[in-house]
Chains A and B, each alone.
Chain A
Amino acid sequence: MHRLGIGPTEGWLLVVLAVMGAGLGVLAPGFASLPNLFDLLNVTAVNIIFGVGLLVVLIAGGIDISFAVAASVVQYVVALILPWFGGGDWALGLLLAAAFGTLLGCFNAFLIFQFRIVSIVVTIATFNLFFGLLMFFSGGVSIYDLPEWLTTRVAVIGLDTASGRAELTLPFFVMLACVVATWLLLRRISTGRQLYALGDNPDGARRIGIPIGAMHYLAFGWLGLMAGIAGLMQAHYAEEVVPNALYGRELDVLAAVVLGGARLGGGRGTILGVLLGVLLVAVTQNGLNLLGISPYAFKMIIGAIILIAITLSSEGVGRLLGGWRAPARRRAV
């Protein structure tokens, strides 16, 4: 298990996800069908892209509240600019979204690093700044007149099944690319290990010679990049750009990522955890829909799941059972 990168949190989530999947397979007609599962993956892609970006920031010891509205800004700006290029295409769209997203992320990094302000304060401010600017200049008006390539569904894999056509679409594959790239950064590249080190022990990282400023730009820039791409994917999926469509998404993503074992405060968190955390939330929502349960119950149930998950994580179980499984001691180094 450990060799595959499956820690206690990931193992726990896998079990819960499996139990829930099996339960829904029996109880909710249509859940276990390929079209439903594929669609689940297509819908979840945007949140997973956000999630892996946010993971990088959390690991480096920061937090970002502004990325979802930054993605809205990117969507809007890209939608406004594309006509100048005669409509553009996927390559140009992705390039612009990535560039603007990175720029906004680096703006956060600049404020946090240059003025030594805590990241939560900076990003709450930029959250309001980005969203306020967007609403002010857009007047809250949505853009429906998007280039045709952006609104056309791109089915990469299509299968005809007994329960209808199942398609895996472009957002899913873009998400795969983002996941692989982030995984490489965090696990396989020396620079990613420096990010972990910074979140784990900032003083130790400074002392050993890790460039703190560069790490800030890398982490927040990476989240910006992911947010830009996720924003474009969301516009593609929704076939429109609504300025406040992503408002509030930051907390959903943050909750799912923390559910996946990332620690607020840095140094801990895995890609697999993010995937499982986001998927668990998505499966719950999907299952509740299929079971015909009121959508108003959704938030309540997600909140309960997160509370249960974090109290019953491996250390929590130990505490519940007393000394049977001694909780891991954590001492300052």
Chain B
Amino acid sequence: MADPAEPGETIGLLELEHVSKQFGGVHALDDVRFDILPGEVLCLAGENGCGKSTLIKIISGVHQPEPGAVMRFAGQPMGTMTPGAARALGIQVIWQDLALFPEMSVAENIGFERNLGARPRPVNRTAMRGAAQKILDRLGVRLPLDAPLRTLPIAQRQIVAIARALVGEARIVFMDEPTASLSQAETDALLAIVRRLSAERIAVVFVSHRLAEVLDVCSRVTVLRDGKLVGTFPTAGMTQTRLTELMTGKSFDYAVGQRDLAAARPVLTVENLSRRGEYEDISLTIRAGEIVGVTGRLGSGRTEFALSLFGMTQPDRGTIMLDGKRVRFGSNRAAIRAGVAYVSEDRLQLGLVQPQSITDNTVIAVLDRLLGPKPLISGGKRDALVDDWIRDLGVKIGRKEDAVSTLSGGNQQRIVLAKWLATTPRLLVLDSPTVGVDVGARAGIFAIVRRLAEQGLAILLISDEIPEVYFNADRVLHMRDGRIVGEYRPAATAIDAIEEAVHA
């Protein structure tokens, strides 16, 4: 990124000092400083709950800061902010859920601001369409203006949200996790748009858990931790490791596994397993206490293979042996009985019943073991089991009766793990366990996974983030087009070699 500040320019677009915010005595923000220059792309980084959203809400007028805050926009004091006042200044926020209207046309979504206001006005569709087209032209994007938004893929809806922000003559755009559900190609296209906005001297504040893209697109990164400013740093010379340390305040031990498990008892042995159109001729062994990583690009067949291990699909050929006994799973219930646990990729949707309590989610797979005098569930047994797992996995909760939806991503992930571990599995399959989980919580989850392995659990870890498998698995398998095309020992291989092979 070119230096956004032109020579001689000293006035920042937005300058905040001494911004604090308390919610019921808790400091969500404590004396934070923040500034951004016109056209700058800046990253706001920090773990969940560090105060990023609070800061964005103060800037966009949703919350008021505590007295004593100094806020200037283009050199002028901002006064009391409301969402309307913020929009009038050109401060636009694109929320993670986009806040668009799926049934309406693309044009109406982009130009919806024209429909706002208490006074009824006639709707001018032609003008709305024209304005929408002009903005899409400016972004260099073509979209079907009359199509209902719901027919567009998520990446294009993202662009619609950006276009809507630009209708209001945006001067600074906040993007909250814009790439969370985008593929690599879609992310690249989005980052190209971000650069375009920057070239038009529109400032962009980027919130993202994907540190690589943060370092790539932003010129500076402002790091918050526990509501306090850690600092604002240039991204030149910044590494992902350093940034993680700044965000979490901990240094992580990125040592690769050195254990030799060749003598351990095999738990899972798969021979020549194939399923037409999904995966081909897979053979592998996972020993007790071993973590085997599987990586490869989307569509490499890794998830499909895992689903067969879990009995969701049946292989056409080949054998699966658990603890030396050949097994055939007609359904996932048979797999669970045999001691296989599977944490799915889309765990927040498929793995948890969000509105139900932490307790109910934890015990849902083992209800039959909680029967007191039949046929009733024993409350005592249930609570004891839940308490054990919450303590064991270090889940941070308020009360066990709270809905799972009240927990952070990292803690929800631990509840999913607890649910499966309660089934006392012998083989644990983790499919992309850290999607949507921030860096600090990731480290915590992998610490748990390693501890489980040391207790003798066999673990299959699937992830498209190579560092994740490299630093946590004892062996890494590379899948491409449904086949295993490479096997690496992190202890004996450089991470670059694996990355090169996978991305080739």
Indicate if A267 sits at the interface (CB-CB under 8 A).
Answer: yes
A209 at the interface (CB under 8 A from B): yes
Q: Cβ of A196 and Cβ of B83 under 8 Å apart?
A: no
Please, which residues of chain B bring their CB within 8 A of the CB of A4? none
* Contact digits for A198-218, partner B, Cβ 8 Å, 1 yes 0 no: 001101110111110010000
Residues in B whose Cβ lies below 8 Å from that of A201: 99-102
Find out whether the CB atom of A189 lies under 8 angstroms from the CB atom of B103: no
Query: Contact: B101 with A196, CB < 8 Å?
Result: yes
- Contact A190-B120, Cβ < 8 Å, known A196-B101, A197-B112, A333-B149: yes
Chain A residues near B69: list those with CB within 8 A: none
A-B contact count (CB 8 A): 82
Given A196-B104, A333-B100: A210 in contact with B116 (beta carbons within 8 A): yes
Classify the secondary structure of A's interface with B. helix
Q: Look across to chain B and name the residue whose beta carbon is closest to the beta carbon of A59.
A: B103
Cβ-closest chain A residue relative to B83: A209
Residues of A within 8 A of B83 (CB): 209
Contact B99 A208 (CB under 8 A): yes
1/0 per residue, CB under 8 A from A, across B273-284: the answer is 000000000000
Query: Is B104 in contact with A331, judged by CB distance below 8 angstroms?
Result: no
Which residue of A188, A196, A330, A333 is within 8 Å of B97 (Cβ)?
Answer: A333
Residues of A within 8 A of B118 (CB): 211, 214
Shortest beta-carbon distance from A289 to chain B in Å: 38
Q: How far is the CA of A289 from the CA of B244 in the complex (A)?
A: 77
B101 and A330 form a contact (CB under 8 A): no
Bitwise, A292-333 to B at CB < 8 A (1) or not (0) is 000000000000000000000000000000000000111111
Q: Decide if B150 touches A330 in the complex (CB within 8 Å).
A: yes
Q: Shortest CB–CB separation between residue B404 and chain A, in angstroms?
A: 18
Interface of chain B: mostly helix, strand, loop or mixed = loop
Given A188-B122, A209-B83, the answer on whether A193 and B112 have CB atoms closer than 8 Å is: yes
Count residues of chain B with CB under 8 A from any CB of chain A. 29
Contact A267 B116 (CB under 8 A): no
* Measured CA separation A332–B154 after assembly (Å): 9
Beyond known contacts A189-B120, A193-B112, A201-B102: 16 more, CB 8 A cutoff: A2-B146, A190-B117, A190-B123, A196-B103, A196-B104, A203-B99, A204-B97, A204-B100, A208-B112, A208-B113, A209-B84, A210-B116, A267-B103, A267-B104, A268-B103, A333-B100
25 inter-chain pairs at a CB distance below 8 angstroms, sorted by A residue, are A2-B146, A189-B120, A189-B123, A190-B115, A190-B117, A191-B120, A192-B123, A197-B112, A200-B103, A200-B104, A201-B102, A203-B99, A204-B97, A204-B98, A205-B101, A208-B112, A208-B113, A208-B116, A209-B116, A328-B150, A328-B151, A330-B102, A331-B154, A333-B150, A333-B157
Interface residues in chain B, defined as those with a beta carbon under 8 Å from any beta carbon in chain A: 83-84, 95, 97-104, 108, 112-118, 120-123, 146, 149-151, 154, 157
